[in-house]
Structure 1
């Protein structure tokens, strides 16, 4: 983690590396789901590698249509499971893992929906391509 804390980027660098807009990054911060680890004396946001990973996770969930509350729930869950100083005890850990499995199932279902939509789009594209190509 100490190495992570030394590696810091400003919001513009994070946007460039992740493909997220400045507006999206600020929105995630305002929503309380992906804040920078620090700020400069001048108030500029400073992001670590861990912060960037979290932003990417949030963005991926957003692109799959998860709500901010659902994103927050998953982040709290994964944070709790990964807590090095106070890992959850056995029964609680299993409950958290069950909730994590439910998130995974929801993601898989959304991926399948996207696969079906993509297949339909590819079929439409092939149909249109066939109408443009001369009959040979």
Structure 2
């Protein structure tokens, strides 16, 4: 039988602080950030993006005549809804491991600017890397 003693005891209407990490700042990551912030009280959110800017495939694939205004539109949406401050750019997630004892996710992350690695912990991980990315 599992031991749930690490689970905090709270009433159903008492929101605990919830740490959420979103992997990817493309359209799915932007929308997840917007909707979670609107619907979840007491949220601590972070969006990790491997590129130097948000926008996912619309940032990565810029070709003449390829609807480049879509990237600017999604940047505007993220800014309008206050999501830009939660983005950490040029950060690559290499591993996500569930810690059964602490009931937390441990993510191993590399800062692509400095090549240093570090660990971040959270309650919830959302993979928003998109179908067009690896």
Tell which structure's C-alpha radius of gyration is larger. 1
TM range (shorter): under 0.3
Larger % of strand: which? Answer: 2
